[in-house]
């Protein structure tokens, strides 16, 4: 069911998922989960029904006294006014108006082969190189033929700058360097797949693991074991299409390959190195802000370009728990939505938000707790081969 406001302008979109209504608001690009009484009030308000009429409705249907009913309606009205009229979609300001001066010299210039394209990345400093290169070092090529694209990354007037094919893409403050890196990744994807930002439905903080025909997503909070599980699955015949940064194409709702290396945290070194001895020799990186140490493991698909995307079969929320064996259970879709959305970028375009809701409504979600690697591999093989 889609509810479209009058004047042929999509101001909000509604989807019912497991007896709750999820309403997306265009102005704020936020999703509001509503229980039935709240949604009924919202629906009546946006249809123009009078305050008194809604109070009477609440009394006759829920025995809600008028004084409580009025309070309830006012609270909902305030929230909706904020979502529809006051909130503005937060957009990273692309241009901070700083005059751009390209560096005279770059610390390094490295060419990468990324999904059937060659990219020359120029890093102004060693620090900027450290932000990007470790993830793509395995894609470095010595082929000096003219690259398809050039990306220049440098520091200018206290801002990190991203220039792609001589066009300034954006500027970010130091504290927003995770957004800077995200945009570098998007620029690689856009150029490699000949797309624009509007062609992407979402970028999820997850890993995408598959069998060459379809995939499932491994989601969870930082430290829950997503990348570790990806590495375990890769050692058991799965392909890792994307780790930590999963781009989903809008028109097809498919995951597109993002061949960055898999980051393995210190606590998993021993276990993963038993499957991948090369990890023992890999360079170690310490991230002070997060107080974590990682090494990078190369995805076995990285040097094989997969230009077509993969359908997503399921989302699996993972948690490694010592001595837990293996439990894989279907989870509440609304709980899954609550966990997925705040950790994801979702396109602010109405047609993409609608696609996102349609896609999510169709995807089964599971909760996985495990400590037994063999059991989890067997179980996830069953999942992807439709045996569950």
Task: Return d(Cα 277, Cα 275) in angstroms, integer.
Answer: 6
Residue 208: beta bridge partners?
217, 242
Would you call 25 exposed, middle or buried from its count of C-beta atoms within 10 A (0-12, 13-18, 19+)?
buried
Q: How far is CA 385 from CA 43, 212, 267, 300, in A?
A: 41, 12, 31, 21
Beta carbons of 12 and 1 less than 8 angstroms apart:
no
103 touches other proteins by CB under 8 A: no
Stretch that binds other proteins, among 137-145, 281-289, 300-308, 380-388 (CB under 8 A): 281-289
CA 39 to centroid of chain Cα atoms: 28
Which of 308, 310, 296 is CA-nearest to residue 139?
Answer: 296
By CB under 8 A, name the one of 177, 199, 351, 372 that touches other proteins: 177
Residue 329: in which H helix or E strand, if any? Answer: strand 326-330
Q: Looking up tokens 């995951």, which residue turns up?
A: 255
Residue closer to other proteins (CB basis): 286 or 385: 286
Helices 51-62/36-46 angle, 10° precision: 150
Site string for other proteins, 362-381 (x = CB under 8 A): --------------------
Task: Return d(Cα 220, Cα 317) in angstroms, integer.
Answer: 5
Stretch that binds other proteins, among 279-287, 307-315, 320-328, 379-387 (CB under 8 A): 279-287
- Count of residues near other proteins by CB under 8 A: 62
33 touches other proteins by CB under 8 A: yes
Stretch that binds other proteins, among 30-38, 161-169, 301-309, 322-330 (CB under 8 A): 30-38
By CB under 8 A, name the one of 3, 27, 43, 62 that touches other proteins: 62
Would you call 229 exposed, middle or buried from its count of C-beta atoms within 10 A (0-12, 13-18, 19+)?
buried
By CB under 8 A, name the one of 163, 203, 231, 264 that touches other proteins: 203
Residue 359: beta bridge partners?
none
By CB under 8 A, name the one of 98, 109, 174, 307 that touches other proteins: 174
Helices 66-81/51-62 angle, 10° precision: 120
Stretch that binds other proteins, among 197-205, 248-256, 358-366, 368-376 (CB under 8 A): 197-205
Site string for other proteins, 319-358 (x = CB under 8 A): ------------------xx--xxxxxx------------
Q: Please state the closest distance from residue 378 (CB atom) to other proteins, in A.
A: 29
Residue 287: beta bridge partners?
292
- HSE-CB at 258 with a 13 A cutoff on CA atoms is 28
By CB under 8 A, name the one of 18, 75, 213, 270 that touches other proteins: 75
Stretch that binds other proteins, among 34-42, 99-107, 141-149, 373-381 (CB under 8 A): 34-42
Stretch that binds other proteins, among 8-16, 114-122, 288-296, 358-366 (CB under 8 A): 288-296
Q: Which of residues 240-259 bind other proteins (CB under 8 A)?
A: 244-245
Task: Return d(Cα 280, Cα 298) in angstroms, integer.
Answer: 13
Residue 121: in which H helix or E strand, if any? Answer: strand 117-123
Q: Please state the closest distance from residue 66 (CB atom) to other proteins, in A.
A: 12
Q: Which residues bind other proteins (CB under 8 A)?
A: 28-35, 37-38, 58, 62, 64-65, 68-69, 71-72, 75-76, 78-79, 83, 90-92, 127, 130-131, 155, 174, 177-179, 181-183, 185-186, 202-203, 205, 222, 244-245, 263, 285-290, 292, 294, 337-338, 341-346
């Amino acid at each position: 069911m889609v509810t479209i406001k009058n004047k042929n302008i999509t101001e909000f979109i509604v989807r019912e998922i497991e007896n709750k209504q999820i309403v997306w608001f265009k102005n704020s690009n936020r999703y509001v989960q509503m229980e039935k009484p709240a949604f009924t009030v919202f629906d009546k308000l946006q249809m123009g029904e009078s305050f008194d009429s809604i109070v009477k409705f609440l009394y006759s249907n829920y025995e809600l006294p008028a004084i409580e009913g009025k309070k309830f309606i006012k609270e909902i009205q305030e929230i909706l006014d904020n979502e529809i009229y006051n909130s503005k979609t937060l957009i990273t300001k692309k241009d901070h108006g700083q005059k751009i001066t390209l560096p005279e010299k770059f610390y390094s210039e490295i060419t990468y082969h990324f999904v059937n394209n060659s990219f020359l990345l120029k890093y102004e400093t060693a620090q900027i190189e450290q932000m990007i290169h470790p993830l793509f070092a395995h894609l470095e090529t010595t082929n000096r033929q003219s690259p398809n694209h050039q990306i220049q990354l440098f520091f200018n007037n206290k801002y990190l700058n991203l220039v792609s094919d001589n066009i300034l893409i954006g500027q970010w403050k130091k504290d927003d360097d995770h957004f800077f890196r995200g945009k570098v990744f998007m620029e690689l994807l856009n150029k490699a797949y000949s797309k624009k930002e509007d062609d992407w439905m979402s970028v999820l903080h997850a890993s995408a693991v598959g069998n060459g025909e379809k995939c499932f997503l491994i989601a969870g909070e930082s430290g829950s074991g997503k990348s570790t599980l990806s590495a375990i699955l890769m050692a058991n015949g799965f392909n890792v299409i994307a780790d930590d940064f999963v781009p989903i194409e809008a028109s097809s709702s498919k995951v597109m390959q993002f061949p960055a290396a898999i980051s393995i945290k210190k606590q998993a070194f021993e276990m993963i190195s038993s499957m991948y001895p090369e990890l023992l020799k890999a360079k170690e990186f310490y991230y002070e802000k997060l107080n974590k140490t990682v090494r990078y493991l190369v995805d076995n698909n990285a040097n094989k370009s997969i230009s077509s995307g993969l359908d997503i079969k399921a989302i699996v929320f993972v948690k490694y728990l010592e001595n837990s064996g293996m439990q894989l259970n279907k989870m509440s879709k609304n709980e899954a939505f609550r966990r997925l959305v705040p950790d994801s970028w979702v396109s602010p375009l109405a047609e993409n938000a609608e696609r996102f809701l349609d896609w999510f409504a169709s995807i089964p979600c599971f909760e996985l707790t495990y400590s037994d690697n063999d059991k989890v591999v067997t179980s996830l093989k069953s999942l992807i081969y439709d045996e569950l």
